[in-house]
Amino acid sequence: MDYTMEELLPVVGKLTEKYTGFSSTSVTYETARQLMEAVLYCLREAEAEALKTGKDNVAAASDTDLWLLYQQGYEVVLEKTARAKKVYEQIIA
């Protein structure tokens, strides 16, 4: 799904605040780019998970809070990372 910059910026802004510890909203261009990529990646993961599970909550993404959708995608990424870590540990054991 395509999102406008106006929809994405509040999510990136929240991550920026988290990243800077609420002490500053000023970050480098490179950091802002990485945060935007992270947001887009997590949104894509949430969309893919919704398609895989048959939940169509992403279809109305323009009506939903992108922050919540980002968080859902973030949780999917954490789960995939944990599974990959288990596989890796089994391989090296």
- Write out pLDDT tens, residues 39-93: 999 999 999 999 998 876 554 555 458 999 999 999 999 999 999 999 999 999 8
- Write out pLDDT tens, residues 8-25: 999 999 999 988 887 776
Provide the pLDDT for residue 63. 43
Cα(57)–Cα(55) distance, integer angstroms? 6
Find out whether 8 and 62 touch, Cβ atoms under 8 Å. Answer: no
Domain ranges of the chain: 5-92
In the numeric block, which tokens belong to residue 17? Answer: 């605040």
Provide the pLDDT for residue 90. 96
